[in-house]
Structure 1
Amino acid sequence: MSTASATVSRWTRRFVAAGACWLVLWSLAALFALPRRTEVTLVLFGFVFHTLFGKAYALVPSYFDRTLAFPRAPAIQLALSVLGTAGLAAVGLPWVPALVGAAGALLWAAGVAVFLGTLAWTIRDNLAGAETGTGDHDADRRPVDRIANAAMPVAFAYLAVGTAVLVAAHIPVDAPFPYAPQRTHLFAAGTAALLVFAVGFRLLPRFFVADPPKTLVAVALPSGAGAPVLLALTLPAGPIFRFGAALEALAVVAFALAVLWLIARSDRERVGRYGVGLGAISGVAVVGLGLSFAFVGLDTALVVTHYRFALVGFLGLTIVGVATQFYPPAVGEFPVDGDRLALGVLVALAGGLLVDAAGRLTDQPTIATGGLALAALGAVGYTWLLHGIFRQRARR
Structure 2
Amino acid sequence: MNNKTRILSIDIMRGLTLFLMLFVNDLYEPVVPKWLIHAKANEDGMGLADWVFPGFLFMVGMAIPFAFLSRQKKGDSNFQILIHTMVRTLSLLLIGIFMVNIHRLNPELTGISTYAWAIWVYISIFLIWNNYPSQNKYRTFFISLKILGWIGLVIAAYIFKAGTSTSPEWMITSWWGILGLIGWGYFAAAITYLITKKKIAYVVVIWLGFIALNIFSQLQMLNFLNPIKPVFGVLIDGNVPAITLCGLVVGMLLKSYKTDFKKLQIILIPFGVIVLILGFILRIWFIISKIQGTPSWAMLCNGISILVFCLLFFIIDQKLINKWTFIFKPAGQNSLTTYLAPDVIYYLIWSFGLPILFYKQDHSAILAIFGALIWAAVMIGFAALLSKIHIKLKL
**TM-score calculated relative to the size of structure 1:** 0.28
Return the structure number with greater relative CO, CA threshold 8 A, min gap 6.
2
Structure richer in helix, relative to its length = 1
